[in-house]
Chains A and B, each alone.
Chain A
Amino acid sequence: MTEALHSKMDTSDACDLRFGQVGIACVRVRRVDAAALCEELERRVRSAPQLFSRAAVVLDLSHLLDLPDDGTVDALLEAVRSAGMLPVGLAYGTSATEALAQRMGLPLIAKFRAAYEPAEGGSIAPPAPAPAAAPAPAPVREPIHAAPPAGPALGAQHHEGTVRSGQQVYARDRDLVVTGAIANGAEVIADGSIHVYGGLRGRAMAGAQGDEKARIFVSDFRAELVAIAGHYRVFEQIPKDLEGQAVQCWLDGEKLMIARL
């Protein structure tokens, strides 16, 4: 009882310590060349300064054959900094990476995107666009992948059947077509547009690389969340006029629009 009273009176805790999910970009180093790295990142920061300038990034060295020595890693970190981004840690790797992180005084950040990573790997990964005009920090766990140089157009990626709770489907550099339902707690993500021919009860994120022209089409709308190019809306209550309807979502400037089809 006294304990409870005490804690009630004591409102001056020095801090709250919580775990949360934050969007963070991962720079996967593919060859040890600080100058080239700096140049590449600078190009990306220039192309989307509001997105990448002073963005927190994690350095992923796991795709290098050998772990570089401390001096080289320092140079790589400096390259990231001079490009205008802020390295905040190393991506989780082997025990050698752990030792390296300890020597550098940097935290090790778990390999958070493993679920999306295709076997062939990507190049340097830009972060997903930060949600603009958002009332709260984004709960959106955006895929972090590189947009490769524009190549031949890819057809849409098809997913047959239901996407179950806890599953994620990611269509890289293309549209996604889902012929089944997307359950509560399931996520579908595409760099292009998303078409859902079943019920959408989970989350759909189109334009994950920042394509503001991407759209989401749903034949039975009951979504938890929809996002386009990082602009998102969550639905604690599905608007009555949209629930169960065929809808499309698109971006009008910064505003995410949803209307019945």
Chain B
Amino acid sequence: MTAEIIVVTSGKGGVGKTTTSASLATGLAMAGKKVAVIDFDVGLRNLDLIMGCERRVVYDFVNVVNGEATIKQALIKDKRHDNLFVLAASQTRDKDALTQEGVEKVLDDLSNDGFDYVVCDSPAGIEKGAHLAMYFADHAVVVVNPEVSSVRDSDRILGLLSSKTRRAERGEGAITQHLLLTRYNPGRVALGEMLSVKDVEEILGISVVGVIPESENVLAASNAGVPVILDDNSHAGQAYRDTVARILGEERPLRFTEVARKGFLQRVFGG
């Protein structure tokens, strides 16, 4: 039994990769899977904050790659789920501290430790850090915002995923590509200020695995160190639950992609 490796990537920065990685890993853990989530953004470590474990980081990814700590020492157990572990990035190093062999060994060790899924939170860009995050992946979640620059960068990433990964190089078949549209605002789409789901699917030629609505809860959850998927009252949290279910093979209709009609009371009192 080998672990399935999922890279969360986008090319462009600030589109919601880390938010997605945290929620995806948590969602998979909630489904009973044993999950590790790794922050590949060496030098700009964020995942630990979103996961709410920043004060428990002792050893990090670079320590493990350099053999200064074992993977067991460096994995931080999530305080909410026993089967979810975080491997933090190093804040004091840069991306050159990672090597392909080192990353491969860490992933192999996790696989041998009985992990079902390893979620790799890629840094922005298409340079070394992003390359290493995607190289060993079996699945990719490409995070895209409904705007043209993000869509173009995602297109570039989709191209790299189909050529610059181990599976592609070994001819083991394409890695599974999931397109995740985040920060979606149906109201602005209706006004023509934002690309629609259909626009993005048409430009990129693949269909979305989920649409996460723009939501204030995402920022609040990030600041609180709680992955937004745990906020069952927020649309973003529910949309992430749907997305994780779809990645696990379930069929669910898209939600929150139409302008919500406000009821009378909501119109009067806001909401």
What residues of chain A have their CB less than 8 Å away from a CB belonging to chain B? Answer: 161-167, 180-181, 183-186, 198-199, 201
Within 8 Å of chain A (Cβ to Cβ): is B156? yes
> Is B205 in contact with A180, judged by CB distance below 8 angstroms?
yes
Q: How far is the CB of A254 from chain B (nearest CB, A)?
A: 33
Q: Which of B133-187 contact A (CB under 8 A)?
A: 152-153, 155-156, 158-160, 162-163
Query: How far is A199 from B156 in the complex, measured between Cα atoms in Å?
Result: 17
Q: Which of B213-241 contact A (CB under 8 A)?
A: none
> Is A183 in contact with B202, judged by CB distance below 8 angstroms?
no
Within 8 Å of chain A (Cβ to Cβ): is B259? no
Within 8 Å of chain A (Cβ to Cβ): is B203? yes
> Is B152 in contact with A199, judged by CB distance below 8 angstroms?
no
Known: A164-B156, A166-B156, A183-B205. 4 other contacts (CB 8 A): A164-B155, A164-B158, A165-B152, A165-B159
Query: How far is A165 from B11 in the complex, measured between Cα atoms in Å?
Result: 12
Q: How far is the CB of A240 from chain B (nearest CB, A)?
A: 17
B contact residues around A164 at 8 Å (CB):
155-156, 158-159, 162
A contact residues around B160 at 8 Å (CB):
166
Of chain A, the residue at the smallest CB distance from B151 is A184
> Is B159 in contact with A181, judged by CB distance below 8 angstroms?
no
Chain B interface extent, by class: 10 to 19
Q: How far is the CB of B31 from chain A (nearest CB, A)?
A: 31
B contact residues around A199 at 8 Å (CB):
202
Q: How far is the CB of B152 from chain A (nearest CB, A)?
A: 5
From A165, A166, A201, residue with most partner B Cβ within 10 Å: A165
A contact residues around B153 at 8 Å (CB):
165
Query: How far is A26 from B165 in the complex, measured between Cα atoms in Å?
Result: 32
> Is A198 in contact with B205, judged by CB distance below 8 angstroms?
yes
B contact residues around A163 at 8 Å (CB):
159
From B152, B155, B159, residue with most partner A Cβ within 10 Å: B155
A167-B159, A185-B155 are known contacts. Are A201 and B205 too (CB-CB below 8 A)? no
Of chain B, the residue at the smallest CB distance from A184 is B152
Q: Which of B13-54 contact A (CB under 8 A)?
A: none
Q: How far is the CB of A231 from chain B (nearest CB, A)?
A: 27
Query: How far is A164 from B174 in the complex, measured between Cα atoms in Å?
Result: 15
Q: How far is the CB of B36 from chain A (nearest CB, A)?
A: 30
Of chain A, the residue at the smallest CB distance from B148 is A184
Q: How far is the CB of B159 from chain A (nearest CB, A)?
A: 3
Contact with A along B201-215 (1 / 0, CB 8 A): 011110000000000
B contact residues around A167 at 8 Å (CB):
159, 163
Q: Can you name 28 A-B residue pairings with CB atoms under 8 Å?
A: A161-B205, A162-B204, A162-B205, A164-B155, A164-B156, A164-B158, A164-B159, A165-B152, A165-B153, A165-B156, A165-B159, A166-B156, A166-B159, A166-B160, A180-B205, A183-B152, A183-B203, A183-B204, A183-B205, A184-B152, A185-B152, A185-B155, A185-B156, A186-B155, A186-B159, A198-B205, A199-B202, A201-B203
Query: How far is A151 from B229 in the complex, measured between Cα atoms in Å?
Result: 62
Q: Which 4 A-B pairs have the closest CB atoms?
A: A164-B159, A165-B155, A162-B205, A165-B156
B contact residues around A185 at 8 Å (CB):
152, 155-156
Q: How far is the CB of B137 from chain A (nearest CB, A)?
A: 17
Q: How far is the CB of B146 from chain A (nearest CB, A)?
A: 16
Query: How far is A184 from B154 in the complex, measured between Cα atoms in Å?
Result: 11
Q: How far is the CB of B263 from chain A (nearest CB, A)?
A: 39
B contact residues around A181 at 8 Å (CB):
205
Query: How far is A186 from B162 in the complex, measured between Cα atoms in Å?
Result: 15
B contact residues around A201 at 8 Å (CB):
203
Query: How far is A201 from B158 in the complex, measured between Cα atoms in Å?
Result: 16
A contact residues around B155 at 8 Å (CB):
164-166, 183-186
Query: How far is A166 from B158 in the complex, measured between Cα atoms in Å?
Result: 10
Q: How far is the CB of B115 from chain A (nearest CB, A)?
A: 31
Query: How far is A199 from B203 in the complex, measured between Cα atoms in Å?
Result: 8
B contact residues around A184 at 8 Å (CB):
152, 155, 203
Q: How far is the CB of B140 from chain A (nearest CB, A)?
A: 13
B contact residues around A186 at 8 Å (CB):
155, 159
Of chain A, the residue at the smallest CB distance from B126 is A166
Of chain B, the residue at the smallest CB distance from A166 is B156
Query: How far is A122 from B163 in the complex, measured between Cα atoms in Å?
Result: 25
Of chain A, the residue at the smallest CB distance from B206 is A162
Of chain B, the residue at the smallest CB distance from A181 is B205
